[in-house]
Amino acid sequence: MEKITRRQFIVKSSMIAGGTIGSMAFGSELLYPQKARASEVAFPESSCGPQKSSNKKILIAYASFCGTTGGVAEAIGQVLCEKGAAVDVRLVKNIHDISIYDAAVIGSAVRSSSWWPEAVEFVKRNQETFHRIPVAYFLTCLALYNHNEGSRKVARSYMDPVLKAAPSVQPVDMGLFCGVLDYSKLSFMYRTVMKSKMKKQGVPEGDFRDWNAIRAWAKNLQAPLIGSSERER
């Protein structure tokens, strides 16, 4: 066996230890993407509106990485409640029975130019039901930080994977909204990648959700999702 000096032994041992710790940290982030965000991230779920059988029941389903798309989902839900519907806001992974809903609004944060895979999968899995009831889609992304025709085109293209995965579902409308960039919610690996990407694109850290635009879009969903029989406000 090759003899090594004490100094070589220390250098080699530290390299092996460093490599092991590094691969454990990054490996677990890659294997378990939920570990890629900070632990304090919250994903809001709520219900509002009259829970009477005569009222339309609407599902607002969303997928999110850092939780902020949940705020958009709740704002949309609030508007539809004010219009007389009974609304449940839920994370897609917690939804088991969609048969109780008369309509649905489904949205997701964008990751790598698409809705989160779990949101696409949710629509694909339930497309038979979503084909029969009115459905609207929305997304949050950072491409819309720059407001112009090109960025809207890019944001609109983020819907292509879900439209392709469930072609029988024809959304009555698609809401494209700017989202949030909050590095404190990302793990070291994602923070490093996003910082370099966002710097190149000139996107600063911040909350870019336009609540007026989000509420205005939700108001326009009243007619297709609830119909004219519910109370006007």
**Positions in the binding site for ligand FMN (CB under 6 A):** 64-69, 109-113, 140-143, 179-181, 186, 190, 194
For tokens 């919610």, the residue is: 185
| Pairing mode, strands 135-141 and 174-178 | parallel
Distances (CA, A) of 221 to 38, 94, 135, 162, 185: 34, 24, 9, 20, 31
Tell me the closest approach of the beta carbon of residue 170 to ligand FMN, in angstroms. Answer: 24
CB of residue 82 to ligand FMN, shortest distance in Å:
23
| CA nearest to 72, candidates 219, 221, 214 | 214
Pairing of strands 103-111, 57-63: parallel
What's the min distance (Å) between Cβ of 181 and ligand FMN?
5
93 vs 102 by CB, closer to ligand FMN: 93
**Helix runs in the chain, H state only:** 6-31, 68-82, 117-125, 127-132, 149-157, 160-165, 188-201, 211-219
Least separation in angstroms between residue 138's CB and ligand FMN is 11
Please give the C-alpha separations between residue 32 and each of 27, 29, 163, in angstroms, as whole numbers.
Answer: 8, 5, 27
| Residue placing its CB nearer to ligand FMN in the complex, 61 or 66 | 66
Nearer CB in complex with ligand FMN: 82/182: 182
Q: How far is the CB of 70 from ligand FMN (least distance, A)?
A: 7
**Residue 130 or 177 with smaller CB distance to ligand FMN:** 177
Closer to ligand FMN by Cβ: residue 106 or 143: 143
CA atoms within 13 A on the CB side of 139: 29
As a whole number of angstroms, the distance between CA 83 and CA 220 comes to 11
If one counts every other C-beta atom within 10 angstroms of the C-beta of residue 2, the result is 4
Give min distance, CB of 184 to ligand FMN, in A: 12
Which residue's CB is nearer to ligand FMN, number 152 or number 215? 152
Q: Which is nearer to ligand FMN, 55 or 68 (CB)?
A: 68
C-alpha to C-alpha distance for 99 and 121, rounded to whole angstroms = 17
* Chain residue at closest Cβ approach to ligand FMN: 179
CB of 217 to ligand FMN, least distance (A): 16
